[in-house]
Structure 1
Amino acid sequence: MSNFLSQLTASERARLLKELNYMNLEEIRGFCSERGIPYRIMAESANGKVKATKDTDRKPIVLARVRRYLTTGQVGQPTRIPAQIVREESPPARPGPRDRLYYRWYAKEFEGVMRLLRDLTAGRFKDGAVARVLAMEFWTRGEAPTFEEFARSWTKAKAEEYRLLTPEYAYLTDLKHHRADGEWKAVRKAKAKSALKTLARVAPV
């Protein structure tokens, strides 16, 4: 078991872990790709094969794997969608409230899905981060909720949208605390550069 962070002082460790949040997805995925840390979501098929999807894990999930790697040397397992909730075909044109929202069936181009979700929420439903995060949370738990269940969960999640604001989303966090001024992009770049430099030193490829 490798604890790469043991090479750093306590203050250096604290700074690195904070600076990781300022890395963008491209920078994080570059670090992960070089070390085999998974970030692409995998899906099982009915024949037992597992293949990479076009979907990727959210930033907090990938950074959690990076932090684990830095303390254990273990790359972790990819997020995996079980075969029983994966559908290759498109959803029905007019799904019903008790039909299930299978993996790949949530997309704004599926007008019937969007229409039903709007109907179930008295017109309030909107495609966005809350809906996509919620859908993926169901699927990665191996669940395909009914549209009724999803609509109820979305309504609750939308009311608690602030819970999506985690420290990994550095800009939104800084914005909330009034730290995102006109220099923020330069600050982000400097912090990310510092993090990448430290990572290259303590966990070289």
Structure 2
Amino acid sequence: MSEKHEAEAGRTRLASALIANGSLTSDWLASFNSVPRHWFVPDVVWPGQADGVRQGEAVNRHADPAAWWNAVYSDAPLTTQWDDGDHTGEARGATPTSSNSMPTMVFSMLAASDATDGIRVLEVGNGTGWNAALLSHRLGCGNVVTVEVDKDSAAEAGLRLARAGYSPTLVVGDGSEGSADGAPFDRVIATCSVRRVPYA
């Protein structure tokens, strides 16, 4: 099966599942179709479960393309980094520190944001850049600011966004401090872990 066919079949299957569970709404469908998840998934990922705890073994796009495509177009989170990038290779590290989030969660958050034309959004934790691209497609790049604390993850996300044709404002920094240069924002989406909601 060609990569193009794998992508189309996977996207159709995932869209059907997300529409059926109510997370992908009609106002985000065009963004889902225009911003394929596989553009924002690295060659090696660790598929997880919906509970965010159990992680599978590494899936390598070059070693097992069919498994990689299946992982990308499943409704599962995909860990893309362990131990703040200190861990390399295909063995799992101790702590997952970046991911391409579970599509049900992504589109539920986007729907809950009630982001409409003219809305400015701050995203905290850009991961692989997929969420920032979806927001940029729907709202326009000038209305999206995305903050990432990990400079290497931010650089990789920036490359993926540029290849996809999107140019939201990318900030490398601590998202708990917000982004004063781009403020004020109408919405904030946090795709990161926090122990408390920071004042900023």
TM-score bracket, normalised by the shorter chain, equals under 0.3
User: Which protein has greater RCO, CA pairs closer than 8 Å, 6+ apart?
Assistant: 1
Q: Which has the higher strand share?
A: 2
Structure-1-length-normalised TM-score: 0.24
Higher helix share: 1
Which protein has the larger Cα radius of gyration, Structure 1 or Structure 2? 1
